[in-house]
Chain A
Amino acid sequence: MFIEESLSSILQKSNPYPCLALLESGLISYKESEHKTIPQELLKDFACIYGKELADDAIKCLVNLEAIEENEIGLLINDEASNIISSWLNQLKRNLLLTLNNNEESIEEFVVKLISYLKENTSCTVSYKSVENLDFIINSDGKNYSIQAALSPVWLPAVAEDASVQNTFIALIGPFAAQNWHHMIKYYAHPQFRNYTSYYDPWHCQKMNISRGSLLTYFDWFYRDVYGLKFFIPDTFSLALQNMGLLRYNDER
């Protein structure tokens, strides 16, 4: 039987992120995938990002906690526990602390400031898909943007195709760089992914994004105007884009 309090044991782990990533992926899949199960491809990415050992441990731990369960199709979030897990993860997300230019604040404060900056500096309109989830929908120049805080980079491909169909751009904000996010670069070969998603990691002043211009430029300006910091593009990302033929290889260097 799932016991809410048992979730806190995850945070006692030396690296709680595999469990958190799996829970987040489970919740996304619960809403988005046909059988509510976590897609096998996502699980493969999960194993690559955190390593097979940690990934297996996380699955085992969450199955033991009855936060997720396994059926004949695959792993899925425990139906009865889904709301509790969702609230718990959201609370965790909102309280994640950022230290930006010697000022400490929560990711919730960061995202709220970002949204007000966008409202102040552009003619966009903002609606809230889920305040609790820090999930904002912004319309700017006729285009929709979903700005979300997230714990893990791993599940973004699971929603990218739908986003492209709905012509909604997803910008994820979270502590991704420390979670081997480079593994996700392979998805930039898919137009639906590269044209409709971007990752921002304000902890590490990095971003992975080739859907450039318009509202996203204001993300950079917000980061600089409010915190005096800049988002950098990791070299591995640029090199990967070159290998995919999306950027020209240049040996002038």
Chain B
Amino acid sequence: MIYTADKIGKYKGADVIAEYMLKEKIPYMLGYAGHGAIGLLDSFYDKQDQVKIVWPRIETAAGFMADAYFRITGVPLPVYVSTGPGPALSACAVANAYYDSSAFLLITGQVTTDQFDSGALQEPYRHYPADYPSVIRTYVKHSFQATTVNQISQFLPKAFKLMQTGRPGPVHLEVPYDIYQTEGETVIPDPEGWTDAISWRTGAEPASINAILKKLIEAKRPLILAGNGVHVSGAREELLKFAEYMNIPVYTSLMGKGAVPDSHPLHLGVCGCWGHYPAVEAARNADVILALGCRFSDLHTASWQPGFAYNIPATKLIQIDIDPGEIARNYPVDIGVVGDIKTVLNQLIEKAETDGIKGDYKTWFDELAGYKKEWNDFVAPFEVSDETPIDPRRLIADIRKAAPKDAIMFSDVGNNQPWIEQYWRSDVPGTHFTAGGFAAMGFGVCGVLGAKLARPETTCINVCGDGGFMMMPHAVATAVQYNLPAVWVIMNNYAIGAIRDLQRFYFGGRQIGTNFETYEGTKYYDGELWNPDFAAMARSMGGDGVRVEKPADIAPAVEAAIKSNRPTVIDAIINRDTAVPLTSTWQMPPIPPALPTFGQIKIR
């Protein structure tokens, strides 16, 4: 017995989980019941004043909400599901969290231990008994299958340790029904002894710190790239302090968006296929890039094609990441440091201040000012466009004007994501969220509720497409049920627009399976564009709903939604043929890459 410091007692397996959640001070458990979960739920029956049970209308939604909650608070919530379909439906949310270094604890049920390999209802048994861990293993940091009560006690602190240290990620715990109900002699471990005492924020060796500073000082055109690792590490303040001290411009990946205030003079925007021109042009012209917690994905790097977004080499790359697997994955590095972003930035600040090291890059800033002007001149007219259907840029500009400064923005996946990437501005760091890696549609629609759980006093907005909203429309019902007054703005273009655009631009305009339309003829694309009345749907679920077709009506609708403090859906009809300006590119081999639609590539 390893728990010598704790008091031994007799607990049911489910009680161990419930008691441990109290010790972790977990405020919510999300999920969806089934016969494989009721044993667990029963142990929370008398603890609902401390751990509130929130159950949206599908397991995936529960996972998305927990994922969003972690992104904002750093607290991993448990997500309970039954067996079979429940775990299968939650896999999408688990993967979504895993790719974006977010976390929650997925607790799945399983057939009883004496029924393993019997093929009992919903058992995954045809390759190996009770084999859900094999299904989920690709998307979790670890998968535990407890077959005794004592194992639950052993696994829980390990699970929380894994979720909260190093690069975060979801963890899976599977418990057969009988183990929930079986009593065993065990202890409820204290998180303090098993997880909280672990120091995991590793820094860089002093020689690496010196080398990084030397490289930056010698550079003529240095940049700092903030990836999601800056958010995950909680290093936004340190980033700004270092950038300001060294006077180095900062740009971000999509996932790093919001690491610095958009209006900050050092900020260049997002680099990526649909990034900001100043950031993309700067990235391809930089001689040294200090990359913080960025994995250089295809959408960020123009599918790694030289010249479109990056020229590495010749650009010298300094890459800092807590996950060694991400360093030099796609580009060679001049200096690679496995370390925590916050810690390494503090080391850099301390050394730079001690040695009085500061950069002087006036020529570089003059050049960047030109890029910024070019981009701003391009963007400005669209943001005040009075055209109908509504220009997406006008829609986002008006939401921004109507929303409080600190409003939390969850974009979904689809064209709404790059529209928000390019045009949503926020001066409050850490208020933009999206699913950049696994990129599951519906994440934003449900995630905004997780945000509301985390920050009940803050305005939380989801901008989604009509496709994404219809995957998770029940989020409105959940919001009404739990009094989570989120605002959904649907960019309604009667299509899964991002994929339709790929067909328009990659496949010669042959649109099939991407427009929402009635199917009347003998082939696709014969019918009329059709969608349900989203505003009416919202009202039917107890929320508010409004359809907006004119630009002038956007801001009043958003203001009213926020003021009402009620879950509200704004169905905005946008111009479905306006494509997101391409500032870099994205390739789907063998189809050749396209040139940017904004800004000539000057360096290739």
| Interface, chain A (partner B; CB < 8 A) | 121-122, 141, 209-210, 212-215, 217-218, 220-221, 224-225, 230-233, 238, 242, 245-253
Contact = CB atoms under 8 A, between A and B. Distances in A.
A248 B594 contact: yes
Contacts of B592: 242, 245-248
B591 A248 contact: yes
Contacts, number: 76
What 3 pairs across the A-B complex have the smallest Cβ distances? Answer: A213-B306, A250-B594, A217-B314
30 contacts: A121-B314, A210-B604, A212-B306, A212-B311, A213-B306, A213-B307, A213-B314, A214-B306, A214-B313, A215-B314, A217-B311, A217-B315, A220-B602, A220-B603, A221-B285, A221-B314, A221-B603, A230-B603, A231-B602, A231-B603, A233-B600, A238-B595, A242-B595, A245-B592, A247-B593, A248-B505, A248-B593, A248-B594, A250-B597, A251-B505
Contact of A213 (B220, B313, B501, B504): B313
B505 A233 contact: no
B508 to A, nearest CB: 9
Nearest to A248: B594
A29 B602 CA distance: 34
A232 B595 contact: no
Given A213-B306, A233-B604, A247-B594, A252 B505 contact: yes
A248 B314 contact: no
Interface string B560-604: 000000000000000000010110000000011111010011111
A245 B593 CA distance: 9
Contact of A233 (B287, B313, B597, B601): B601
Contacts of B505: 248, 250-252
Contacts of B285: 221, 224
A121 B287 CA distance: 10
Given A221-B287, A250-B505, A252-B505, A212 B604 contact: yes
From A214, A218, A221, A250, name the one whose CB has the most chain B CB atoms within 10 angstroms. A250
> How would you classify the secondary structure of chain A's contact residues: helix, strand, loop or mixed?
loop
Contacts of B601: 233
A250 B582 contact: yes
Contacts of A230: 602-603
Contact of B307 (A212, A221, A245): A212
B104 to A, nearest CB: 38
B2 to A, nearest CB: 53
The residue in B311, B314, B315, B506 that gathers the most chain A C-beta atoms within 10 A of its C-beta is: B314
Contacts of A247: 592-595
Contacts of A141: 313
Interface class of chain B by DSSP = loop
Interface residues of B, number: 28
Nearest to B366: A228
Contacts of A217: 306-307, 311, 313-315, 603
B152 to A, nearest CB: 53
Contacts of B311: 212-213, 217
Interface of B: 220, 285, 287, 305-307, 311, 313-315, 501, 504-506, 579, 581-582, 591-595, 597, 600-604
Nearest to B581: A252
Nearest to A235: B600
Contacts of B581: 252
B314 A122 contact: yes
Nearest to B604: A212
Contacts of A214: 306, 313-314
Given A217-B307, A220-B603, A250-B595, 12 more contacts: A213-B313, A214-B314, A217-B306, A217-B315, A220-B604, A225-B220, A245-B592, A247-B593, A247-B595, A248-B594, A251-B504, A252-B581
A151 B579 CA distance: 44
A230 B306 CA distance: 17
A231 B307 CA distance: 13
A249 B595 CA distance: 8
Nearest to A198: B604
Contacts of B604: 209-210, 212, 220, 233
A249 B287 CA distance: 31
A226 to B, nearest CB: 11
Contacts of A210: 604
B594 A218 contact: no
Contacts of B501: 252
Nearest to A230: B602
B598 to A, nearest CB: 9
Nearest to B308: A212
B594 A249 contact: yes
Contacts of B287: 221
A146 B7 CA distance: 77
Nearest to B315: A217
A145 to B, nearest CB: 13
A248 B508 CA distance: 11
A84 to B, nearest CB: 40
B575 to A, nearest CB: 13
A232 B602 contact: yes
A213 to B, nearest CB: 3
A206 to B, nearest CB: 11
